[in-house]
Chain A
């Protein structure tokens, strides 16, 4: 007969689960409100979502560092707290973009906001564990919600985007599972901390390197898909083009950051057990991604597609920092995404403000460069603010991304990869061309004849969000010190 299992409540450490429970509970609350009373206004759900995310934010802040809970499955270390904070901040800033002038299909559903909160919970589970199974389930929960929210925009392009993302994502999920299976096959467990303990003892055995490298290839494909590294990036521009601007902006930050945390856990485990070839693979992927994505971005006609390629190239930039395996580089990743968040939030919100329901300027694209020609004459404020975001993406001081780029490049030099730092700097120079192209269109080109007002979708909440983004982007120099010391402390305390 089996003996009854006794588990004490204290050993479970249930508080480690509290942030995700807030998000899931909030999502269920939204579903229940919709059941009880139909036809509540959209702003109620937006405000409710922001409130829930705010409580979630507080729950994350109240977690104590380096704790495990729920049978050692949840792992609350520094990087999981920092990444959850960035994810929640991004979600709080992106969800009010639903309050637009015009009505769009997805915001007619209360379920949209429930799915959004489920997605946030999924990402939180992903970053707050080192168990490959829980990472997978969190990833799939978040991805399923994301695919649906893209399709809910309900245009031809968004259906295409959702199907494309779904099929490619299913394939990447397959690779992730196969990689985890190989890891399980050589170590008998899927917890990365246990895996590295077991493999460290056995590294001298003949023939063990082959399956370890094999697993790394499979996992790198899955990671490369989600953070959109070069050979696995095919879906990115099409999906960004098809989905609504807030969704595209969100996709350029949050899913990538969540997968980046998984990549930190997986790759630092590989570097810990002395698998140098994996480091070279990551550096090669990063260099290819940076360079080719920049070249592809040069020939785009649509600003949103250009921003998609730019986000691919930024992902390559951050991936290079990942391969360095120093505390400074890991802090750089979070700093970079923290700053990138505000810049991209602003850029995509500007696109969202100028969104017409019909495609007036081009047969295929919503936001071709021509649309912004002469914007300085019709909307001087909008043109200046858009220019700030473009200059920040280029990496012009004192705007936010300059500091992120500088920090990562200096980490690269410190780690002894001078040639990599040179490539990164060169790529930033190439990127200046396509960002400044938009600035040239806005400031120097004449305004086309017979065009009506461009900011048709603008509303008070959207302007506030743009204001926040512009303020943080411009005055980021004052934020650098506190942000860096906090991130540095959090990263070093979790042992990276």
Chain B
């Protein structure tokens, strides 16, 4: 049953992501991407990683796709996109080689077996509880530093999208700068 579910999910995800790449309609591409993201959470559930499955749903389907959708609202999403891709042999060759190399490297660990598990499944603990135990003991520091990273990202976003970036002090001459300061103080 698990095998069937895995192959079903794997094939569907591949098809959906192929649509995402090849489709010329933004709306179709985005819907396929969202559907693929939902199905990936299925893979986590098969592996009994419930917590990660739910995170996948919330973060990728809920947050990232919603962000994309909001972004798309600024553009006309109904028409097809005209792509200017000329056939280029070098790019094709390098792209295919890179893809083959990456797939090769990623499947290489399956050559060996019996990898020890540092955090085995605990008796009597559900998956989120087990994740929580590791996250708030061993990985407490990375967890907190990730919070700092989000703070940095938030500050960065607010500054770079802020109104103060409209006029560049770096380019204003002294006279322009004085005029600007007087205008601000009024």
Contacts and interface: CB of A to CB of B under 8 A. Distances in A.
B139 A208 contact: no
Contacts of A482: none
Interface in B95-148: 101-102, 104-106, 108-109, 111-112, 115-118, 122, 124-125, 129, 133, 137-142, 145-146, 148
A115 B156 contact: yes
Given A118-B148, A145-B152, A214 B108 contact: yes
Nearest to A73: B141
Interface in A82-111: 102-106, 108-109, 111
Contacts of A104: 169-170
B66 to A, nearest CB: 21
Contacts of B173: 357-358
A77 to B, nearest CB: 17
23 contacts: A7-B137, A24-B148, A73-B141, A73-B142, A109-B164, A111-B155, A111-B159, A115-B152, A122-B148, A133-B142, A134-B141, A134-B145, A144-B152, A151-B160, A178-B105, A182-B108, A185-B115, A186-B109, A189-B118, A211-B111, A214-B105, A214-B108, A218-B105
A121 interface: yes
A215 B105 contact: yes
Contacts of B122: 2
Most chain A CB within a 10 A radius of its CB, from B105, B116, B138, B152: B152
B171 interface: yes
A1 B149 CA distance: 34
A357 B115 contact: no
Interface in A139-173: 140-141, 144-145, 147-148, 151-155, 158
A122 B142 CA distance: 11
Contacts of A158: 170
Given A115-B152, A141-B149, A188-B118, A207 B133 contact: no
Nearest to A157: B170
A101 to B, nearest CB: 10
Interface residues of A, number: 66
Given A108-B164, A198-B116, A5 B133 contact: yes
B105 A71 contact: no
B153 interface: yes
B88 interface: no
B111 A155 contact: no
B40 interface: no
Which 6 pairs of residues, A with B, have the shortest CB-CB distance?
A214-B105, A185-B109, A207-B111, A211-B108, A148-B156, A154-B168
Interface in B12-46: none
B177 interface: yes
A127 to B, nearest CB: 13
B164 A202 contact: no
Interface residues of B, number: 45
Contacts of B104: 214
B172 interface: yes
Contacts of B129: 2
B98 to A, nearest CB: 11
Contact of B124 (A2, A70, A178, A358): A2
A240 B135 CA distance: 39
Contacts of A118: 148, 151-152
A354 to B, nearest CB: 15
A152 B169 CA distance: 10
Given A31-B155, A185-B115, A198-B116, 14 more contacts: A2-B125, A5-B133, A70-B141, A105-B169, A111-B155, A118-B148, A122-B148, A122-B149, A154-B171, A181-B106, A188-B116, A188-B118, A211-B105, A214-B106
Contacts of B142: 73, 131, 133-134, 137
Nearest to A136: B142
Contact of A182 (B109, B116, B164): B109
Contact of A155 (B140, B171, B174): B171
Contacts of A357: 170-173
B145 A141 contact: yes
B115 A141 contact: no
A283 B117 CA distance: 35
Contacts of A194: 118
A357 B168 CA distance: 11
A74 interface: yes
B111 A210 contact: yes
A140 B160 CA distance: 18
B156 A145 contact: yes
B165 interface: yes
A154 B170 contact: yes
Interface in A217-244: 217-218, 244
A17 interface: yes
A317 interface: no
A189 B120 CA distance: 12
Nearest to A72: B138
Contacts of A114: 155
A246 interface: no
